[in-house]
Amino acid sequence: MIETIAQYPILAALIALVGLGILFGALLGFAAEKFKVEGDPIVEQIDELLPQTQCGQCGFPGCRPYAESIANGDAINKCPPGGQATINAIANLLDVPAPELDAEHGEEAEVRTVAYIREDECIGCTKCIQACPVDAILGAAKLMHTVIADECTGCDLCVEPCPVDCIDMLPVEETIKEWHWPAPPTTADIIASDLRPQL
């Protein structure tokens, strides 16, 4: 064996290298099959960060299509319900600078709102039910409809189709259980004596 190798050093090296190549190739091929990644995980991750209001303000029919579009290089600042917090989170995930919210797609709401149907005025046309992306509206043809407030994402999509304009987007009132301490006021003053009136 040793003698053969010594006799044909070039050939031995060639065989060894080709052998290694085949071995690692097989290993890689096996690993690629064994640890195959289904779909694009980055889409899942972006979708996790989006607020899931399914409002379509970004121009896509739902949060997931927008997540897919972001994964393909679309701008990350098209989501008004998520606001700056979502933009920052996605920027952090994709390791890109965080832009301001694109005003073209709407403004970040100060308070969360949910839809309420003025039930006396509802004519039971079912148009809002068809518009609701999360099935949060209950009702039947020619019967009064109502919104399940807990399920409403506040996407606004039901307001426009209503022929009698009986849907209001009302702010969600904060309960004592949801309340939490506000951030302490930031004092820009460097030293306390600066607070004294100028002499």
Partner 1 sequence: MKTWVTPGGVHPPENKHQSLTLPIGTLPIPEKLLIPLSQHIGTAAKPCVELGSAVLKGQKIAEAAGPVSVPMHAPTSGTISAIEHRPIAHSSGMLAPCIEITSDGKDQWQAHQGVADYKNASASTLLQAIAEAGIAGMGGAGFPSAVKLNPGRERPIHTLIVNATECEPYITADDSAIRERAAEIIEGIGILSQILGHPDNIMIGIEDNKPEAIEALEPHVQGSGISVRSFPTKYPSGGEKQLIYILTGQEIPSGGLPADIGMVCVNIGTTYAIKRAIVDGEPLISRVTTMTGDACGINRNYETLIGTAVSHMLEHSQFNEERCSRLVMGGPMMGFSLTSAEVPIVKTTNCILAPSYQEIPDDEPAQPCIRCGLCAEACPVSLLPQQLFWYSQAEDYERLEAHNLFDCIECGACSYVCPSNIPLVQYYRHSKGEIQKARAEKVKSDHARQRFEFHQQRMEQAERDKEAKRAARREAAEQAKATAGAANNSAAKATAEGQSGDSAADIIAAAQARAAARKVSPEQQLAKFERSIAGAEMRLQMAEEKLTEADAQQTDEQKNILVAAVEAARQKLEQAKGRLAEHIKEHKGEQVD
- Does residue 157 interact with partner 1 by CB under 8 A? no
Given 12, 42, 45, 52, the residue binding partner 1 (CB under 8 A): 52
Which region, judged by CB under 8 A, interacts with partner 1, from 17-25, 48-56, 68-76, 114-122? 48-56
Contacts of 116 (CB under 8 A, 6+ apart): 147, 149, 167, 168, 169, 170
In the stretch 18-47, what mask flags binding to partner 1 with x, by CB under 8 A? -----------------------------x
The answer to whether the beta carbons of residues 132 and 158 sit under 8 Å apart is yes
Residue among 45, 42, 43, 67 nearest 54 (CA) = 67
Residue among 50, 99, 53, 101 nearest 71 (CA) = 50
Given 183, 196, 197, 199, the residue binding partner 1 (CB under 8 A): 183
> Rule CB under 8 A: which residues touch partner 1?
47, 50-54, 62-63, 132-136, 151, 153, 174-176, 178-184, 187, 189-192, 195
